[in-house]
Amino acid sequence: MKSAHKDVLKQLEVLLKHGKIRKLFNYNLIFLPWLILFILCCLHFLSALWTTFVIALLLLIIAQLIFRRLAGYQALTVANLVAHLNSQFPELENSAQLLLPPSKPWELLQVLQKKKVVGVLKPILQRPAGQLLPGLNLRWVAIHSLLVATLGLTGLFLVQMPVITPATQKTILDRSGEIRLLSSSVTVIPPQYTKNPETESEGLDISLIAGSKVEWLITFSDQQSDYYLQLADGSKHEFVRSNSGEYSLSKTIDYSGVYHLGTNSGKLDGLYTLSVTPDRPPSISIQQPQRTITEIPKNGQPVLLTKVKIEDDFAVNKVDIQASVAKGSGEAVKFRDQVFSFDQSQQDGKAAIHSKTWDLAKLGMEPGDELYFTVRAWDNRQPEQQLTRSQTKIVRWLEEEQEGILSDGLLIDFMPEYFKSQRQIIIETIELIEARPTLDKVDFDKTSRGLGIAQSDLKQKYGQYLGDEFDHGVVQQMEDGLGLPEIEIHDSEHGDTGHGEEAHSGDDHDEHDEHKNEEHESIESGGHEPHAHHHEEENSAVEDKSGAAQMIAKFGHAHGDTDIGIISQYNPKAMMKRSIANMWQAELHLMLSEPELALPYENEALKYLNLAKKAERIYVKRLGFEPPPVTEQRRYQGDLSEILSYQQRQSVALTINEQDSALFVLNLLKTQSDAEQLNEKQLQHIQQVKRQLMAKVQKEQNIIRQVATLERIQLAQSLQLDNCERCVDELYNVLWRTLPDPVALPVQRQEDYSDVQPSVIQFSQRVEAIKQNRMSKERVGETP
Amino acid sequence: MITLQAPLLSLPTPIITLLVFLLLSCITTVWLSLTRLQGKSVIHKGLVTSFNVLAFASVAAWLIGFNISQEKVVSAVLLTEGASESRDIEPSQGKVFELRTLSDNSELFPDASQIGSIMELHNKLPDLQSLHVIGNGLSQKQWAVFDQLYQGAETLNIAYTPGKLETGMVNLVWDQQLKVGQFQLVSGLLQAQSPQSLYTISLFDPTDRVIETVNLRAGESFSFSFVPKGVGEWRYPIRVQERGAEETIADESVAFAVAYSPKPSILVNQSAPLFETRHLKNWATEHGVRMTITSQISQSKSISQHLNYSSENQHFIKDPLAQGKLDLYDFMVIDGRAFMALSEDAKRYLNTAVNEGLGLLILADADLMEAVRSKKMPTTAGFNLRLSNQKIDRIAVPMWPNSIIQQPIKVFNANFSEQDSAPLITDENGRALVMSKDVGLGKLALSLMPNTYQWKTAGMAQTYSHYWQFMLSRLGRNNDKQQWQHTDKVAYPLDQQQLCFRGVNPVEGQLIHTSMKQVQNLTFTPQWLEQDKYCAAYWGLTSGWYQINPNDSELPGFRQYIYPASNWKAWQQQDKMTATKAKVGNFDLNPVVIERPVATIWYWLVLILSLTCLWIERRFFS
């Protein structure tokens, strides 16, 4: 019996557990909709999946703990279970509680009843727990679910945008009533010849190639109005509305500018830029021959290779060579024009290398004739091609044989008959420096030495004007007096050049003491002390057999010669000497194949040459005839009857000062507060400045941004602009850059006067003296 | 020394009555207690008696009101901006005060009392005798307030410990008001802590591009010269960096306004049309200058051109050299031959006109040189000219302030004697090419450069215009009427400014902050000591550009920039240090007697303690 009782108790325990589980499940069912709502809210607002999951899990755990503390759960005890069973099963005769441990010993009747109950309860407890336990409280589940659903739908309704009604009314305005761009698409179709693909973008700021066709496709919030696009030149272009409500416009754009959109009721917000890149003409670079004039000796091979590099930003359509052959000389010269094409072309990336070999003989030329040719290139721009011409090159087939001249062991084939100007030497030096990567070392050295020789020629030529004699390759200055005897140099071959006193390397060199010059020079130039001079070649040259001294004498120069004293004295001779000194240095570096080092000296030589010429001009004027001044007696002799003495009134228009507007706007940008409205005068100045910038925008496309900023300022009528982080600062910088330095204006003297100024004292004394004088005169007049 | 003082003699009668009553009560109480304590020990009786007496005495002392007087030297330590955090201040130096500036939010010395002004220091220590100033010190204005508050402050000991030197620019000088085309010259000194370091000072334009850079050490001076772009209000940044470093140590700006100047009216009298005067005419009249040019075209015939005399202004003069007519011109140019051909009357009128302010420039020509050579004139218009024995002309490079010309021009080969005034323009060797002298209120000048137009034709329009602007500004009639007078000192917010106007009385005007559009009304008052001068005082409340416009719109406006108080730190520091160092002095001080009343709490404590002891005695020992 006792074991049966125990079994029943155990079964009751098990049933109670089931009951508790069921209770928890019930609670969770009620909680579940809330959890789902919470998860959905988190996902919507936070968009963080894992965070939501973790929080939900934590909530669930916390909920379980809370549920176990709830009264309903706590009420699940054996006693309550037994009471429940009593109520459910009448056969238990409300006696099931007898199974529970009593607080005091049962009486006999209770014991008997308990036995009976055990027997009855045992089979009852065999039934499924679902039949024994109270059912799930689905009513609360339903209520909570409904509540959650209501809350959820309400929230959904509040968060979501209003539904767009079908279009019987197509106007969509936001709360402010402004028209907005709902969508935009810009297609840029470059000119066909560029072979560039079409581009499409949503932004309305467009960068394009000149001549491109632009197609706008825009959807506005107000699809009832008519819209237009207004360019910077004021022209308006109407949009075409399609059935789908989109507005389209197509236009070919050639120039940079700004534009905005508008409707009948006014302009829309927003200013957009058109940044047009023009199609540049082809560029031609003649790689060979480098020099402008190429000379071919009489007996040399009359063949010349020409290599030209031509490139264009798109394509080169046509290339040819326009040549002229000049035959004869003097007045009998005849020209024959002809157009040639290149023999060969080779693509090198975006550029093309064209080459042609000139056979002068086949052109019908003879020694003494000249060929001039220019390369022409057309690009493929439509409708009008752009032509570029190269510089003209000259090929001269020399008539007379040139004797070879040996200089420093190198045989130079010919000597030019003319002097290259200093400027030409500079140009060719620059060309040589640029061509260094393409030339091999031998050619480079040869060309450099050729320039050195030209520099030497020029130096000698100008030196002659100063009285320097170039006998056998050494400067013999007049101040030197008689030169030292000539000396034979054994290990270099020198010959006469046929240029008289010009000798690039002399077989006999005069070594002279250059110190003698210094004293003469310093007297002439104002007393400047000579430099210490270390060249003591007077005696050493006599014994020099290696040729080093002669080389030094030839290519070195005496610093002392060129002392000219204070540079500010514009003595033309001094300027020439300084120029020649620089020519010496230039020649030295050129002969050493260092054109980069020679170039600064060449520029200095040119500078002093020009100064000397200017001084020389004045010098010449001084020497020129100056007529004696006309005396008043002799002046204006003749019939004076028609000469009238009259007054003339003129008004001189003030200089058109574009700067005034720019200055005004510059000051405005710095001093005006952003929110303040601009007045008419300020807007006028802004308009003026915008006009000035528009005139420059074709050359500098970047300025278009500043034009757009000015336009926006005009539209907003204040300096406060949307989406403008630094646009005002950039506008300021550009305007500043466009301003030239001002011309000084006529002013009045403005000084403070004080009683202690000498002029004031003197004047007051003078006034006092005049007063005294007048008073004494009056007294004298009064006295009878 | 501390002493207690009782102001017995000054006690009112009721208090004295109460004191007498207290005394009697004390005696009575002591007698009664002694009677009660018969048989007790002497110590017991003595203690009870003492406590009774103490209680009555505390009440009596409270009624009397004792003072503690102390003889000491009143000293304080004043920490100013720039005081170092690590400085240890001895307590004996006195109370520590920290003078806080508006921009200083950090408390370097938590124990110091914060004061905002010298007034507060005076309120706290009116008897200050010794002050130790640490840091940058006080400005001149602050010292003036200090002197006023501590009258007799000359006997006040001032000690000064300077703070760390700020690196920056000091003693800057520049023109805050310029005319269009004038050069701006900015000069100053570099102040730096480290004398060995090399610094770079760079001047930038308003778009932050470098104009010029100099490298220098502490204590060395610098100067920049440039031409501002045009009319307006400009601020050119100027920055200091350590050589080779990226970081900017000091970033300031020189602010100035460029305005148009009143235009002069010019008269040219020439013996024949000259290129020189023609180009002068072109330049001047293109900018609105009124000009009259009289050119002799025949022995007795001349053409007069009157330029820019508008139809409203019919006052051009047919015979400018007539008596009194020259007053209408500010500047006159005449060539040598025309000058020599002037009649005596014309010379007399011209002399009068120059004495009364006209500026006269004589262009030397061959005729004048010939006259000098042949000694036909003892002096050449008052100048002692000596011609060279060599050629009549020579080449020279003219130089004048801020001239940048390098090309020489042909000038007459003559020398001015040393008795004449200082030369206006010299050549590269210092020989005068244009000499000027004061004649009365006007200026007379003789120029050996008759062909300055070459600069214009050579494309150097700026040089040409600068030359003539210089000549007009030095020789023209002085227009001391209608000009503003203001010091070029750097101004800060709340500094009192004074602006004066010469000429008509503006009466009233407005001070306008250009950006914020704040308007203050100004009233100009006449100055007793100077006629035709009217001044107004004003204060700029915030930093920025200010415009002062007279209510009379005919009068020109004035613009000024007021710097934020945080600018020019090094310069302000230098000014303060200089002002403070000038105040340093030690004097023999008489200690001050400081009296303060004893706090009432002590009397009550003694009373309560006594009564407590008496109660304990009564409760436990009786």
Beta bridge partners of B537: B498
Q: Identify the pLDDT of residue B496.
A: 85
Confidence check: pLDDT of B281 > 90? yes
Give the closest-approach CA distance of B207 to chain A in angstroms: 5
Q: How many CB atoms lie within 10 A of CB A276?
A: 22
Give the closest-approach CA distance of A481 to chain B in angstroms: 29
DSSP track, A6-55: HHHHHHHHHHHHHHHHHHHHHHHHHHHHHHHHHHHHHHHHT--HHHHHHH
d(CA B569, CA B582) in angstroms, rounded, equals 20
Strand order across the B496-502 sheet: B483-485, B496-502, B533-539, B525-526
d(CA B364, CA B509) in angstroms, rounded, equals 48
Structure tokens at A571: 């003595």
Q: Identify the pLDDT of residue B220.
A: 92
3-state secondary structure of B124: helix
Q: Identify the pLDDT of residue A754.
A: 59
Helical segments of A165-229, H only? none
d(CA A410, CA A446) in angstroms, rounded, equals 9
Note whether A324 and A336 are within 8 A (CB): yes
Confidence check: pLDDT of B187 > 90? yes
Nearest to B231 by CA among A566, A661, A524: A661
- DSSP secondary structure letter of residue A203: -
End-to-end CA distance of chain A: 179
Give the closest-approach CA distance of B234 to chain A in angstroms: 8
Q: Identify the pLDDT of residue B269.
A: 94
Confidence check: pLDDT of B222 > 90? yes
Rg, Å, chain A Cα set: 53
Q: Identify the pLDDT of residue B55.
A: 93
What would the pLDDT profile of B526-543 be if each residue is shown by its tens digit?
Answer: 887 777 788 888 888 888
Q: What is the residue type of A537?
A: E
More confidently predicted of B281 and A571: B281
Q: How confident is the model at residue B592 (pLDDT cuts 50, 70, 90)?
A: low
List the single residue in B307, B429, B480 with the smallest CB-CB distance to A650: B307
Give contacts of A 514-573 with B, CB under 8 A. 566, 568-570
Work out the percent of chain B whose per-residue pLDDT is above 70.
Answer: 89
d(CA A259, CA A214) in angstroms, rounded, equals 13
- The mean-pLDDT minimum among A487-491, B15-19, B114-118, B294-298 falls in A487-491
Residues 6+ apart with CB under 8 A from A736: A666, B205, B206, B207, B229
Q: Which residues of B touch A613 (CB under 8 A)?
A: none
Q: Which residues of A touch B312 (CB under 8 A)?
A: none
Residue contact B283–A746, C-beta within 8 A: yes
Q: Where are the beta strands (DSSP E) in B401-532?
A: 409-412, 414-416, 423-426, 432-439, 442-447, 483-485, 496-502, 508-513, 519-523, 525-526
Mean pLDDT on B101-105: 53
Q: Identify the pLDDT of residue A479.
A: 43
Q: Where are the beta strands (DSSP E) in B180-310?
A: 184-191, 199-204, 210-216, 221-226, 232-242, 248-259, 265-270, 290-296, 302-307
C-alpha dihedral (B390, B394, B397, B401), degrees to nearest 10: 70
Q: Identify the pLDDT of residue A537.
A: 41
Residues 6+ apart with CB under 8 A from A772: none
Pairing type for strands A405-407 and A303-311 reads: unpaired
Mean pLDDT on B154-181: 87
Q: What is the residue type of B110?
A: P
Tell me, what's the ipTM? 0.74
Q: How confident is the model at residue B597 (pLDDT cuts 50, 70, 90)?
A: confident
Phi, psi (5° rounding) for residue B185? -120, 115
End-to-end CA distance of chain B: 44
Q: Is A763 an 8 Å CB contact of chain B? A: yes
What would the pLDDT profile of B211-220 be if each residue is shown by its tens digit?
Answer: 889 999 999 9
Q: Which residues of B touch A615 (CB under 8 A)?
A: 395, 408
Q: Is A635 an 8 Å CB contact of chain B? A: yes
Residue contact A749–B478, C-beta within 8 A: yes
Residue contact B299–A636, C-beta within 8 A: yes
Q: Identify the pLDDT of residue A499.
A: 38
Q: Identify the pLDDT of residue A654.
A: 62
Nearest CA in chain B to A731: B207
Structure tokens at A46: 């936070």
DSSP track, B320-338: TTSTTGGGG-SEEEEEHHH
Nearest to B559 by CA among A667, A741, A742, A665: A667
Structure tokens at B149: 């508050």
Confidence check: pLDDT of B333 > 90? yes
Q: Is A766 an 8 Å CB contact of chain B? A: yes
Residues 6+ apart with CB under 8 A from B389: none
d(CA A741, CA A733) in angstroms, rounded, equals 15
Note whether B109 and B574 are within 8 A (CB): no
What would the pLDDT profile of B66-88 be if each residue is shown by its tens digit?
Answer: 777 766 677 888 888 887 755 55
Q: Which residues of B touch A752 (CB under 8 A)?
A: 480, 485, 502
Give the closest-approach CA distance of A145 to chain B in angstroms: 60
d(CA A398, CA B326) in angstroms, rounded, equals 75
List the single residue in B284, B479, B514 with the smallest CB-CB distance to A750: B479
Q: Identify the pLDDT of residue A289.
A: 85
Structure tokens at A504: 């690039």
Q: Which residues of B touch A737 (CB under 8 A)?
A: 207
Phi, psi (5° rounding) for residue A623? -80, -15
- Residue ranges of chain A with per-residue pLDDT less than 70: 1-2, 47, 159-177, 329-331, 400-419, 465-571, 614-629, 632-638, 640, 652-657, 752-760, 782-784
Give the closest-approach CA distance of A645 to chain B in angstroms: 5
Confidence check: pLDDT of B480 > 70? no
- DSSP secondary structure letter of residue A483: P
Report cis status (omega within 30 of 0) of the bond before A383. Answer: yes
Q: Identify the pLDDT of residue A504.
A: 38
3-state secondary structure of B387: strand
d(CA B103, CA B116) in angstroms, rounded, equals 11
Q: For chains A and B, what is the number of CB pairs under 8 angstroms?
A: 204
Q: Which residues of B touch A570 (CB under 8 A)?
A: 395, 408
Q: Identify the pLDDT of residue B158.
A: 86
Residue contact A667–B233, C-beta within 8 A: yes
Give contacts of A 315-354 with B, CB under 8 A. none
Nearest CA in chain A to B338: A632
Q: Identify the pLDDT of residue A757.
A: 61
Mean pLDDT on B578-602: 76
Q: Identify the pLDDT of residue A403.
A: 46
Task: Tell whether pTM > 0.90.
Answer: no
Q: Is A652 an 8 Å CB contact of chain B? A: yes
Q: Identify the pLDDT of residue B104.
A: 54
Q: Identify the pLDDT of residue A535.
A: 41
Note whether B178 and B161 are within 8 A (CB): no
Q: Which residues of B touch A649 (CB under 8 A)?
A: 305-307, 309, 316
List the single residue in B182, B266, B285 with the smallest CB-CB distance to A652: B285
Mean pLDDT on B184-207: 91
What would the pLDDT profile of B20-35 be if each residue is shown by its tens digit?
Answer: 888 999 999 999 999 9
CA atoms within 13 A on the CB side of B301: 13
Structure tokens at B302: 């001349």
Q: Identify the pLDDT of residue A47.
A: 67
Note whether B484 and B553 are within 8 A (CB): no
Q: Give just the sign of the alpha carbon dihedral A18, A24, A30, A33.
A: negative
d(CA A235, CA B151) in angstroms, rounded, equals 79
